Amino acid sequence: MPLRLTLKPHEKIFLGGAVVVNGNSRADLTLLNDVAVLRQADILTEVTADTPCKRLYLLAQLMYMDSPNLVGYHAKFWSLAQELLDQYPDAAELIGGVAHEVTQGNYYRALRLGKKLIAAEKEWMRNGQ
């Protein structure tokens, strides 16, 4: 099934190993095959992954974007997922959902659930948990 994207002026996307920057006007793209795609707003860096849940998201993102290095990312992911479960036992369903998608190789779905986990973490921090 084709994926249609509308890019804002100067928006960056990660597309199958390349970073693509749009020009001065809006652009419509249709991707006809299965390829890793992330919008600039969905990409975390090591600097911006400043909380445990963001680091878990970053590891899932790296699995999605850098498949040749999956083994190393997986080891770090599972270690961090266990730490998060120990720290936030009430988040077992969210963490488990992300972990399940990673196990299935559905990294984009893991990222979507990871966004929910990051939002929950923000609430926990706001409430002092």
DSSP string, 23-85: -SS-EEEEE-S---EEEGGG---TTT--SHHHHHHHHHHHHHH-GGGHHHHHHHHHHHHHHHH
Residue-level pLDDT, tens digit, the chain, 129 residues: 788 999 999 999 999 889 999 999 999 999 998 889 999 999 999 999 999 999 999 999 999 999 899 999 999 999 999 999 998 888 899 999 999 999 999 999 999 999 999 999 998 888 876
